[in-house]
Amino acid sequence: MSHFEIGEHDFLLDGEPFRVLSGAIHYFRVHPDHWADRIRKARLMGLNTIETYVAWNLHSPEPGSWDTSGRLDLARFLRTVADEGMYAIVRPGPYICAEFDNGGLPTWLFTDPGVGVRRGEQRYLDAVGTYLDRVDEIVRPLQIDQGGPVILMQVENEYGAYGDDGDYLRFLMDRMRAGGIEVPLTTVDQPRDLAKGSIPELHMTASFGSRSRERMATLRAHQTTGPLMSSEYWDGWFDSWGDYHHTTSAADSAADLDELLSLGASVNLYMFHGGTNFGLTSGANDRGVFKPIVTSYDYDAPLDEAGRPTEKYWAYRAVLAKHGEVPDEVPEDADPAPVDEVPLTGRLRFLDAVDAQPAYATRALPSFGELRHDAAILVHSTRLTLPEGGILTVGEVRDRVQIIVDGQCVGVLSREWAQTTWALPPVERELVLVVESMGRVNYGPRIGEDKGLIGGVRIDGVAVEGWSTRALSETDLGRVARSAAQGTAAAGGAIAGLTLAHARFEVDAISDRFLDTTGWGKGIAWVNGFCLGRYWSRPPQRTLYVPGPVLHAGTNELTILELDGAPVPVVRFVADADLGPLET
């Protein structure tokens, strides 16, 4: 068995100085059948370690639940790292940010307003303690002293940007130690927050993406002994809907990485391979303007979303070769993805499809938290007659609502534009409001906020009461999507809003594909029941990544939930990804 520790100047592996050269791969953002390929390519670039966050909200979607199946099999991921002869860093949070829904914190934590997240509030600590016990149970036998790959674990995540409760950090540390975690424990913060985000018992590391010499000097001023490490070296950035696709100069980034390594520092590239926010897992940011994050987490990383080496991969490999040995072997070139086009034939009205879902009768309009914390969409309906129409107002929209009068969509209110008012036409029998969560805030004080039409609904100043609501989680939406195969066949023509549309396509050889969403409005896509994620006609993202392992030889099925309406009723698979326009 080996031993890993923090020395006076260096990390020490079996007593000898060891530089950690790590790359981030989040197991939950990559199909499990691709884990080995991505990890191997990290080794071929010259890295010796793989880092991952742990997403509490995925593993524990309900209080008391714990799921490690499929792409949540953390133990399998860590064993795959070991099989490649590499080491591992595990960062369980409990808060991870990661541009991930709710920063990785389960939404059920926030249904009780008295729970105090990321601080020493007892109900929160009880929940966190149970979570860490379960993570420790997985990681404990996979530590390096036990013959496994894990050499470091992180406590919390950029905590100095949020708070300075040292007792809370000490609770997390003690709970991990009590769970049998013996490897060194670290913290990470941006240089300006280092003074608040750690305690003396934990080893500080820094997060940044440029000016390495300056940032390392700041870290050394706070962490006066032990190895220097940037455990989040930002080599790219994430994208938000309505923005452009972010990229950074491969040459400039490689030069800065060279400077970092010349200082003798260790590094974790964030990200080595970003992957995809499969399902409805992408988060959002709100610093006065709500900005939901796209489905792709390509991150302009050394490996792109489909696991192919980029210009940055080769630039980083050349830098790593200056500071140590890299393998002679290099990854093989990837072929273009198969191109295909088939019609979207089956059509089913979404509101008809959700009729089978249980309905909740309430007097006042309920929010997500009041009705169902894990909902992705709430469908509210009320019987109403307004011969002259009226002015509908809501307190606050979180995040988007489609207004349907007597079966016809008459308007949309969006959080991004701070809209709260709509002029209704005459209503004969029914008002329906379809409220969509577009991703929970993952950074800052608005983490954990409720979703829905906050403050209820008024028409001409009078509160509307007597609602019937159907709450659909991601799982429910997948179940509803499967019913589209029994929808009415359509000869062609545009797809109306709030429609489930279905297509079948043939596959000869299994390989990754790129689904072109050009000509569609806004919605969600599934292939063979696997949720690829959200799409939108807004920039930047124009394709959805389809992992080869979700396909099978022969006939495959694709379903979309089109919310706004699609003028192009076809499914197109294209040769390469299109993540949108770049900043000029």
Catalytic-labelled residue, pool 99, 158, 305, 562 = 158
How far apart CA 62 and CA 111 sit, in angstroms, is 12
Contact 427, 389 (CB under 8 A): yes
Exposure on the CB side of residue 537, measured as CA atoms within 13 A: 12
Task: Determine the length of the chain.
Answer: 584
How far apart CA 368 and CA 275 sit, in angstroms, is 29
How far apart CA 538 and CA 359 sit, in angstroms, is 32
How far apart CA 24 and CA 53 sit, in angstroms, is 8
Closest CA to 403 of 364, 383, 431, 429: 431
How far apart CA 128 and CA 59 sit, in angstroms, is 13
Contact 503, 572 (CB under 8 A): no
Tell me the C-alpha to C-alpha distance, in Å, between residue 36 and each of 300, 376, 524. Answer: 21, 32, 28
Q: Where are the alpha helices (DSSP H) in 195-310?
A: 212-222, 250-262
How far apart CA 280 and CA 292 sit, in angstroms, is 11
Q: What token pair was written down for 129?
A: 């303690």
356 CB burial (10 A radius; 0-12, 13-18, 19+): exposed
Closest CA to 316 of 274, 267, 275, 265: 267
Write phi, then psi, for 110 (nearest 5 degrees): -100, 0
Adjacent-strand bridge partners of 16: 13
Q: Is 259 a catalytic residue?
A: no
274, 20, 69, 173: CA torsion to nearest 10? -110
Adjacent-strand bridge partners of 523: 535, 562
Residues with Cβ within 8 Å of residue 233, at least 6 apart in sequence: 207, 208, 209, 257, 260, 267, 268, 269, 270
Terminal Cα distance for the chain, rounded: 53
Catalytic-labelled residue, pool 156, 232, 305, 436 = 232
Q: Where are the alpha helices (DSSP H) in 192-290?
A: 212-222, 250-262
- Longest CA pairwise span in the chain (Å): 82
Pick left, alpha or beta for residue 492 (phi over 0 → left; psi -120 to 50 → alpha; otherwise beta). left
94 preceded by cis ω (within 30°)? Answer: yes
Contacts 24+ apart (CB under 8 A), 535-538: 535/295, 535/560, 536/241, 537/564, 538/241, 538/242
Q: Is 232 a catalytic residue?
A: yes
The CB density around residue 251, as the number of other CB atoms within 10 Å, is 11
* Edge-first strand listing for the sheet containing 522-527: 488-489, 346-349, 499-507, 554-562, 522-527, 530-536
Supply the residues annotated as catalytic.
158, 232
